[in-house]
Amino acid sequence: MSIYNEPILYSFKRCPYAMRARMALKLGNIKCELREVKLSDKPEHMIEISPKATVPVLMADGIVIEESIDIINWAIKKKNIFKNNISKKDELLTEEIIKLFDTEFKYHLDRYKYSSRYKDSKRNYHRDICIGVLLKIELLVSKKHWFFGKNINKIDISILPFIRQFRVADPEYFDQHKKIINIKNYLNNFLNSSLYHQIMHKYEAWTEDSEVVYFP
């Protein structure tokens, strides 16, 4: 039973959009009730508050936030989760790259990773389009851990879950690719970070009878 004293986050461990949301909440140390969703049996309450029925869904401050980027922006306003300042130029670059990943990259990633779901999907064609997107940022990625250097930023938690998903589709291909060296190091730094391990804990699927699970 929940008494709704804390924000409620409907999430799914491997979903890149839900990973975005969990990272934002973790970085802000914003306590919430986490409800892990079984995608084949979505909770009625989640569907009731968010009819599109996709994760993540955050219910907080009397509102329902249904998009991962909106959850990130909510956390930024609430806790200023990125303590360092980046230039206006880099802020514009951030939004441009996030848009590129949310549109072109994600479209082709789905048809590469889940090619069997799409009629006449040309898997390698979609893979190559994704590689083209990664090559666009290959020389922009800092070699100091995160995209803009030593400090994590909005761009990192927004695009790294999708780069991770791209690698998962064919790890051998990704690991052996010779033109995305910086991207591979960037992803490896993320996968080895404490943040990644803290947000990837395995939870049992939530039901109305579940004990309350708090995150982070």
CB 157 within 8 A of CB 23: yes
Q: How is residue 142 written in tokens? A: 């800092």
> What is the per-residue pLDDT across 29-75, written as a single tens digit (0 to 9) for each?
999 999 999 999 999 999 999 999 999 999 999 999 999 999 999 99
3-state class (DSSP) for residue 4: coil
| Each residue's pLDDT expressed in tens, for the chain with a length of 216 residues | 344 578 999 999 999 999 999 999 999 999 999 999 999 999 999 999 999 999 999 999 999 999 999 999 999 999 988 877 789 999 999 999 999 999 999 999 999 999 888 877 799 999 999 999 999 999 999 888 899 998 999 999 999 999 999 999 999 999 999 999 999 999 999 999 999 999 999 999 999 999 999 999
Give me the CATH topology for the region 88-196: Glutathione S-transferase Yfyf (Class Pi); Chain A, domain 2 (1.20.1050)
- In whole angstroms, give the CA distance from residue 48 to residue 44: 6
The per-residue pLDDT for 4 is 57
Q: How is residue 64 written in tokens? A: 């329902």
Peptide bond between residue 56 and the one before it cis (omega within 30 degrees of 0): yes
Class of domain 8-82+200-215 (CATH, top level): alpha beta
- In whole angstroms, give the CA distance from residue 111 to residue 144: 32
3-state class (DSSP) for residue 69: helix
- What is the value of pTM for the model shown? 0.94
- In whole angstroms, give the CA distance from residue 59 to residue 12: 15
Residue 159 burial (C-beta neighbours within 10 Å; 0-12, 13-18, 19+): buried
Q: Does 8-82+200-215 match 88-196 in CATH topology?
A: no
- Show me where the domains of the chain are located: 8-82+200-215, 88-196
The per-residue pLDDT for 1 is 36
- In whole angstroms, give the CA distance from residue 116 to residue 5: 43
H or E, element range at 92: helix 88-100
Residues in the chain: 216
- In whole angstroms, give the CA distance from residue 193 to residue 214: 21
Q: Determine what percent of the chain is predicted with pLDDT higher than 90.
A: 88
The per-residue pLDDT for 85 is 76
CB 12 within 8 A of CB 55: yes
Residue with the two structure tokens 């940022």 = 137
CB atoms under 10 Å from CB of 105, counted, come to 23
CB atoms under 10 Å from CB of 160, counted, come to 26
